[in-house]
Amino acid sequence: MVDPTSDLGEDVSEEDAPRCATCDAAIVDSPHHRVITWIEDGEVRSAHFCDDGCRTDWNG
Ligand SMILES: [Zn+2]
């Protein structure tokens, strides 16, 4: 649960943190964190990246 009155990422442990889709690093309180979302088979999918470099690599 995220307390809406707290800043996001304050109490995120590595286990709860999203992982970079390219390098699989746990993304904890990263200022360069990137998230993209898209629709696939009628579902919203998302991918997290630790920075723009990983996001670009993932796109190919
Ligand atoms: Zn990465």
Q: How many angstroms separate the alpha carbon of residue 23 from the centre of ligand 1?
A: 4
* CB neighbour burial string for 13-38, b if at least 16 within 10 angstroms, e if fewer: eeeebbebbbeebbbeebeebbeeee
Quick: pLDDT tens for 18-51: 999 999 999 988 899 999 999 999 999 999 999 9
**Ligand 1: distance of its center to the CA of 8 in Å?**
20
Q: How far is the CA of 15 from the centre of ligand 1 (A)?
A: 16
How many residues appear in the chain? Answer: 60
- Position with higher pLDDT, 39 vs 5: 39
pTM listed for this prediction: 0.69
Distance 9 CA to ligand 1 centre (A): 17
**Separation of CA 28 and ligand 1 centre (Å):** 12
